[in-house]
Amino acid sequence: MSVLSGKKILLGISGGIAAYKTAHLVRLFIKAGAHVRVVMTPASKDFITPLTLSTLSKNPVYSSFYNEDEQTVDNAMWNNHVELGLWADLMLIAPATANTLSKMANGNCDNFLIACYLSAKCPVYFAPAMDLDMYKHPSTLASFHSLQQFGNIIIPAESGELASGLSGEGRMAEPENILAFIEQDLSSRLPLKGKKILVTAGPTFEAIDPVRFIGNHSSGKMGFDIAICAADLGAQVVLVSGPTQFETNHAHIQLIKVISAQEMYQACHEFYSSVDVAICAAAVADYRPKTIARQKIKKNASEFHIELEKTPDILASLGKIKQHQFLIGFALETENEIENAQLKIQKKNLDLIVLNSLRDPGSGFGVATNQVTFIDKQNNIEPKPLQSKELVALDIINKIIAHYHA
């Protein structure tokens, strides 16, 4: 999965021959899972049509401060450059001509693209495109310097045959290279880049016979949401999941499927020494049958007794051998919630515990929301409101980010 998946990209196109490449660029962004809106200068429409770009982006294309399709200016609908600038997760200006670069550097706001640029609060990338003498002219170099001082990011031009017939530096980077540059730059800035995280998810099933098992109602959603959130923010994730309907094809998640508590225990210990963080969100069965029947148990007697034994306590076992790891556990309680959670922190050598209460409406198994309380090893208590499990996952990951950036 691309780091651009789900990102909102505002593509600004100025009037250079390289504008014809932006059709392919839009396709690449869409293929990567991004949402794209396009803003064009009036001159850029001489090189590629708004219809082409609106068809590819599946969004209207903007080029002026009002809707030019209206019959009269008096009835025209205003295009909100501020809204577009604030909508974007990132803005790319490609091609960025010498004229547009100068306007950006000096705040010369005489077209809709520059107005959007000046309103943008997101990272701004620009891909210069011009002939080699223009590319090396002191005024152009001054524009590069000013824009980079503003925090804008240059995607260097490439060398090759130019529209003038000359060959040299100034050719806009190819669309594939622009995509790769942005992906690499965004990845390098992710707060969990370089971190490896172990996450457990779902229930465990403890076999009674070849047909029946002891389990619970955990869907695994919370653990999967945590794993995806961590991976989206740059971490390499090992996700050890019990039986669940959820799947993931995220490029930064290694999914390991298990069934029993013993299998989950073994998988966690296999990876634990190599991870920076472990988040045990799985609802592991506390007991398992002492013996497993080889054949299906027949329904003969009016009563049936199963002798149970404890399953391995995965979280406690990880806490016992913890060295550098930041260890997070979950506690699902029905009474004396805070006190029981605080005891678990000490007993299992945790850094943070995420407390759930089944008494809170909208929390627990089989629902899309959760209401949790964070308790750390210093006994700081932080209750959170009822919210989606995706937002709970982000809150948990933010705790990890805060730990490493304190």
Give me the residue label for tokens 């707060």: 191
Rounded CA separation 15/95 (Å): 8
Please choose, from the candidates 107, 366, 334, 345, the residue with its C-alpha nearest in 3D space to the C-alpha of residue 215. 366
Q: Where are the beta strands (DSSP E) in 242-318?
A: 253-257, 277-280, 287-289, 308-310
Q: Specify the DSSP class assigned to residue 203.
A: B
HSE of 134 in the Cβ direction (CA atoms, 13 Å)?
A: 19
Strand partners, 273: none
Rounded CA separation 240/236 (Å): 13
Please choose, from the candidates 192, 206, 200, 253, the residue with its C-alpha nearest in 3D space to the C-alpha of residue 222. 200
The answer to whether 216 is a known catalytic residue is yes
Rounded CA separation 200/227 (Å): 9
Rg (CA), the chain: 28
Q: Which two tokens stand for residue 15?
A: 């009037």
Annotated catalytic residue, options 67, 216, 340, 349: 216
Q: Where are the beta strands (DSSP E) in 29-89?
A: 35-40, 61-62
Backbone angles phi, psi at 38, to 5 degrees: -120, 135
Rounded CA separation 309/290 (Å): 6
SS3 140: helix
Q: Do strands 277-280 and 369-370 pair parallel, antiparallel, or not at all (unpaired)?
A: unpaired
Rounded CA separation 271/258 (Å): 14
Rounded CA separation 4/13 (Å): 19
* Catalytically active residues, by annotation: 216
